[in-house]
Amino acid sequence: MERINPFSFYEFGKEIQALIALQGNVSTQHLFWPLFQVRGKLQALLVGKPIPVGISAGKVRSALESIDAIFDARFQTKGADGAPVFRMPDPSDEPVVVWQMDWVRRTVAEFETVFAEEMRETATYFVPRRGIYHTPALVDEADGTFPAELQPIIPQKAKDDWKAAGRCLAFNLLSASGFHVARAVEACLESYYQLFSGKPGATLHGWKAYIDALQKIADNKPTPCPSKKTLTELDQMREDYRNPIVHPRVVLTESDARMLFANGESLIIAMAQEMADAAAGVQPALVLEGGSDTRTIEPPDASKFPKLAQKSTADA
């Protein structure tokens, strides 16, 4: 999927009209710029910019042939080594005669006719805005919603799924968006468990297992430890969304998908903040009492995991 600028087609049309509007014998000074612009746009079309062309390609080549015949004869010369060298138009140049301009107009008009038919069959869509989300940001960089200082904490696979969730939400693939949100939260939950259990690389068999293991750690109140509020919200998301959306009979509405997207965002941020605080040796409750933590937050260090595990008597 690639983004295109629709205005480029408007500009292309203006440039073509400026070229074919030239009548009679045309001086090279008046012809150069319109000819140069259309030539460049036709060359770009042949390489797929702004979009690939199919049945129009033959007519693009025909139009380019007529344009190149004039361009090569009037705006190029040969250098000392025999290679083509560009030359600017000169007032003393002979004008381009009528029959050459008629050839250009005819081939360009044929291209326009075929191109118009091809564009009618081209898949072009408008993506409406979803809530307050800027559509290009939702399509391309949904992970930008996470605070910059927490970006190093959030696992890359969580960010990848989050970007997929944003793209699906933008294109109204609502159940798919919910599925990717759940995957992103689970990817972060995995790292969250590994940090507070002191078991780098360890994985369990699902959300319930992670939440139960983390709850045991929280019950023993080590320092630091996972927040019971976060665990409660994770369990609620598990029951309300994660488990139901794996069934094909459950289809999310836009309201469902947007609520899940918002809930997933807040949970990933909450887990990442707790992991950052734990790695920095900051107890979350103390951060709240102090108002704000202005220290630089570093990513969790795997070498600290065993130390965290020793502070807990729980068997996760």
Q: pLDDT tens-digit profile of 25-54?
A: 999 999 999 999 999 999 999 999 988 899
Compute, in degrees rounded to 10, the torsion defined by CA atoms 223, 227, 228, 232. Answer: -160
Buried b (16+ CB within 10 A) or exposed e, 78-98: eeeeeeeeeeebeeebebbee
Residue that the structure tokens 């795997």 belong to: 302
Q: Tell me the C-alpha to C-alpha distance, in Å, between residue 110 and each of 9, 101, 103.
A: 17, 14, 11
Burial of 237-257, coded b for 16+ CB within 10 Å and e otherwise, reads bbeebbeebeeeeeebeeebb
Tokens of 157: 């696979």
- The rounded distance, in Å, linking the Cα atoms of 316 and 312 is 9
User: Rounded to an integer, what distance in angstroms lies between the CA atom of residue 31 and that of residue 21?
Assistant: 11
Write down the residue that tokens 């007032």 correspond to. Answer: 91
Measured between alpha carbons, how far is 210 from 192 in angstroms, rounded to an integer?
A: 9
Integer Cα distance of 188 and 230 in angstroms: 12
pLDDT truncated to tens, each residue of the chain (316 aa)?
Answer: 677 888 899 999 999 999 999 989 999 999 999 999 999 999 999 999 988 899 999 999 999 999 999 999 999 888 888 788 888 998 899 999 999 999 999 999 999 999 999 998 887 777 888 888 888 889 889 999 999 999 999 999 999 999 999 999 999 999 999 999 999 999 999 999 999 998 988 999 889 999 999 999 999 988 888 999 999 999 999 988 887 887 777 888 999 999 999 999 999 999 999 999 988 775 444 333 333 333 333 445 544 444 344 443 333 3
What is the 8-class DSSP label of residue 95? P
Domain segments of the chain as ranges: 7-120, 135-310
Which distant-in-sequence residues (6+ apart) come within 8 Å of 221 by Cβ?
Answer: none
Q: Could you report the per-residue pLDDT of 7-30, keeping only the tens digit for each?
A: 899 999 999 999 999 989 999 999
State the Cα angle at 257 between 207 and 255, rounded to 5°: 135
Q: Please list, in sequence order, all residues whose beta carbon lies within 8 angstroms of the beta carbon of residue 175, skipping any fewer than 6 positions away.
A: 245, 250, 251, 252, 257
Give, for 86, the enclosing helix (H) or strand (E).
strand 84-86
